[in-house]
Structure formats: C-alpha cells, structure tokens
Amino acid sequence: MNPVSIPRRQFFNRSLGVAAVVAMLQEQAWAADATAGKVKHSVCKWCYKDIPLETMCEAAKEIGLESIELLDPPDFATLKKHGLHCAMVSFPTAKGPDNKKIGSIPHGFNRLENHDLLVEAYEPLLKTSAEAGFKQVICFSGNRDGMDDEQGLENCVVGLKRLMPLCEKLGVTLVMELLNSKVNHPDYMCDHSAWGVALCEKLGSPHFKLLYDIYHMQIMEGDVMATIRKQHPYFAHYHTGGVPGRAEIDETQELNYPAIIKAIQETGYTGYLGQEFIPKRPDKLASLKQAVGICSVG
C-alpha cells in the first residue's frame, strides 16, 4: 500500500505551523533564561579615589547603580542618605607584630597567630554591618610566605569557625576573595577557585562563601564561564575588570562580559555585580556608565 500523499501547499502550511510553534517555544525558553537571575549593579569605591563619596553616590543613582561597595562603617550614613546599599563591606585591620596590618590581603586567616586579632577586629564590624542592613563582609586568606596550601586551608578553617556562630546569629556572610598571585598579589594563597571551594566545603557553613573576581580568575585559570556554571553555589559575589590591565571592560580587552553575565544569570544569581576595573579614560564616570550598560544583560 502506497503512503498517503500530502499536497505540497498543505505540507508547507503544516511545516510553517510547526516552525511557528518551535519559534514560540524557543522565545519562551530564552525569556525564561533571561529572567532566571538578574544581577544588580554595584561599584567598588577604591577605583575612584579622586571622586568624593557624596559625588559618587549622586553619580551612582544617575547611572543606575544600587550599591557602592568596599566601604567602612563611617561611610554607611552617606550611602543611606542616597538610598544605596553596600553589597560588600570592606575588611578591618588590626596592628600586629612588626606593624603588620592583620586582616589585610597579605595577613589573613591562614596563620593561627593572626586569629585572635582577626576575631577581635571582625566581631564589631560584623555587628555594625548587620545593623546597617549590609550582609556581606570581605576577608582574605593571606600570603603563603612558605606555608603549604593544605596547611593554610586547615588554618583558615580554624580561624573562620570562630566567627561562624556570630555570622549565623546576625545573618551575615563572610566572603573570601579569589585574587591572582601572578600580576597583582604575589604569593596570595586563595588564588585558585579550587582552593576556595575546598575551604568552603571544609568549613561547611552557608555563612562563608567566595568572591569570584572575574579579572583575577581569568589571569590565574581562565575557563570563567564553565567555572561559574559548575561552582556557583560557592560564589556570593562577583567583580569585573578588563584583562589585561584591569581597565575598561569593553572591546579593548579579551573577556566577553555580556556572555559571562548571561552565564551568571543562568545560575539564578540575583545578587550584586561589582565593577572593579580602574578607568583609564579621563571621564571615569562615563567608563562606569558604559560598563553598567555592557553588563545589563536580559
């Protein structure tokens, strides 16, 4: 028996109908992807040292930023006045032996002898941040200075565990930043996402996570989008920066930021994206506005 023959016009009409349905479903899927997570815009104040905070707040509101970060408690009132958030509170320091700034990038949680000073410095900062409604505070591993990475991991767990009960009580998260040790921070221990993830797993607390700095991790390990997709449960915050040079994040550098932001959104992330590039152009606020536009995906 011969198969039933379908007239050509009827075949094309049916095909077009199927194509329309497929297109509609694709559009719905794309729309769902776009709304799966929408980052909020933030900026790191230290990149604009010559701009007063008051002026920066006014500019931030005009540009569409919701946060200015890496600020200290004396800055909180100014932020509040302008209705802005601090997505990541800066780190405290305490004076240690030989005038070392304990709590700074080179002198962090990977040394047992730092822990008492770190706890003493972080406890009031955590409380003040929580009172202001700012729920993420940055911290650092410290440099290796001859220490084995595994030993540093264990030492960090010991010190950070002392702060986790207070973090839980306050609803605050301590966030350790991943930094490159190749260009900017020689010898820094938390310089690969795998080490940071291992620390999160060993600590086992939802109140400790990582700051995934896209600029730093592109320099150290690349594979940015795949890492974000795989390890995003450990990432509480993201920073930007052009590679190489840490300048504007536009076509003058190698990273495809719209694609990276899309990958972040697809994880369901709804937190803040901190612009942490150092503008090289004379009009620094124009560069910031451009970066916000580049990262406004979906």
Cβ(172)–Cβ(207) under 8 Å?
yes
276 belongs to the catalytic site = yes
54 belongs to the catalytic site = no
Q: What angle do CA 122, 128, 133 make, to 5 degrees?
A: 120
- CA–CA separation, 65 vs 78, rounded Å? 15
Please tell me which residue in 69, 248, 266, 276 is annotated as part of the active site: 276
Cβ(198)–Cβ(223) under 8 Å?
no
Residue 200: C-alpha distances to residues 7, 25, 153, 234, 275 (Å):
64, 39, 10, 7, 24
What are 213's strand-pairing partners?
239
User: Residue 165, SS3?
Assistant: helix
Q: Quick one: 202 exposed, middle or buried, by C-beta within 10 A (0-12, 13-18, 19+)? A: middle
Please tell me which residue in 69, 177, 248, 266 is annotated as part of the active site: 177
- CA–CA separation, 16 vs 35, rounded Å? 28
CA 206 to chain centre: 16
Residues annotated as catalytic are 177, 276
